[in-house]
Amino acid sequence: MKLGIISDAHHYYNEKGQLCALDILTRQFEQWAGLFEQVIICAPLLSGMPTDRHKPYPVDNIHLLPIKNAGGNTILAKFDLIYKSFGWWKAIRKLLNQVDAVHIRCPNNVSILGLIALQFTNLPRQAVYTGSWLGGAPVSYRLQRAFLKRHFNGPVAVYGEWPDQPDHIIPSFSPSYYQKDWDMESQQVAARIKWLENSEHLAKPVQLVTVGSLNKNKNQSLIIDTIKYLRDSGFDCHLHILGGGSEQEALEQKVEASGLGGHISFHGYVSHDIVRQYYRQADFVVQAPYSEGFGKVPIEAFFHGVVPILSDVDMSSQIVGNGLRGRCFPQNDVESIAAQIMALSNQPGEMAFMIKAGRIFAKDFALEAWQQHIQDMLTASWKIDLGHIDTEF
């Protein structure tokens, strides 16, 4: 059985001619490939070499039906998008003629055409909405969300559990790691817990990390304000900012103007392996987005034995178990973030308890569990036996 995937995920070929995508997507699409004989992805192919954040697919039954990349906020970019959308439409129609079922990733520009094209077929279909299911969003995203809720003839995976949803809206999640990754961290997490249980306070400087694209929605500016507040209060800490983006220059200027250069480090885009190294060194992960579909970062923090402190939006309170596994703060409340960091720094025993709870929670968010979740969803909806899941690659 052949599966078609409609996505806006950027793909590259590396110097060895291997098809590459962002590391997390290669892991997730690998799980789909374990359920089907062949997977064909209709997505943009970019020129040039992939970065360290991009990895080749580890299986040989994933292939690309390439489309041209387009998008942007300028007038020229909008005209370019319209022009290239004709090619997207042809490619999507070609894909639908080659496959037996479809997985479509929303919301994005490519998925708009994909949802329309699916109306002209009877193929079994499944969608994932990767944005905030109930929160605010651009008009095009809200339209896709409404269409998926009211008119999509197949299961739709959304992040979190929300009341009063149709039966085809299925609570789901977005995994980052394999079960073996969880196992790999067990020894260092156990050592961390033992140290916390036998300590009266955290070692200084307290290590903080935030992970994600540097943009206004992710709101790293608020975290910088928090570091200034903590430093002005005499609290010794260091923030590591992992990621790059449109706001990086402005954030760097803000750090310099605040005199925090020795207490905040920008590391840019780094590979997932490097991100994991920073998790292992961190005491807290702090994320302050205005909106978040599914927060992979706090789940990744749980894997590594780190306590997340999150802005109270979308799924955050569900993820931290209403305080069992981490903490939430009111949006844009610097004093609340600082107060929680300072309080927990003097309660290492409480942190040890939260880390234990987070690790137990994270174990159910491994890629293997997600693959089984997909199989169960598709089997129930499509009434098709997908057969044995092969998770050994």
Backbone dihedral region for residue 164 (phi beyond 0: left; psi -120 to 50: alpha; all else: beta): left
- Taking the C-alpha atoms of residue 218 and residue 78, their distance in angstroms, rounded to an integer, is 25
Task: Count structural domains, the chain.
Answer: 2
Distance separating alpha carbons of residues 153 and 357, to the nearest angstrom: 38
Is a pLDDT exceeding 70 seen at residue 182? yes
Q: Tell whether pTM > 0.85.
A: yes
70 and 140 share one domain: yes
Domain that holds residue 335: 179-363
**Which residue's entry shows tokens 């569990």?**
369
Asked if residue 284 and residue 250 are part of one domain, the reply reads yes
User: 156 and 45 share a domain?
Assistant: yes
Strand partners, 284: 208, 307
387 pLDDT tier (thresholds 50, 70, 90) = low
Contact 315, 294 (CB under 8 A): yes
Tokens coding 55:
């990895």
Whether 363 shows a pLDDT value over 80: the answer reads: yes
Same domain, 326 and 206: yes
| 100: amino acid identity, one letter | D
HSE toward the beta carbon, residue 49, CA cutoff 13 A: 5
Quick one: pLDDT band at residue 393, thresholds 50, 70, 90?
very low
Q: Are residues 7 and 128 in the same domain?
A: yes
Residue holding tokens 């390439």? 66
* Nearest-angstrom CA–CA distance, 247 and 237: 23
**3-class secondary-structure state, position 212:** coil
Look at residue 293 in the predicted model and tell me its pLDDT.
76
Q: Are residues 203 and 285 in the same domain?
A: yes
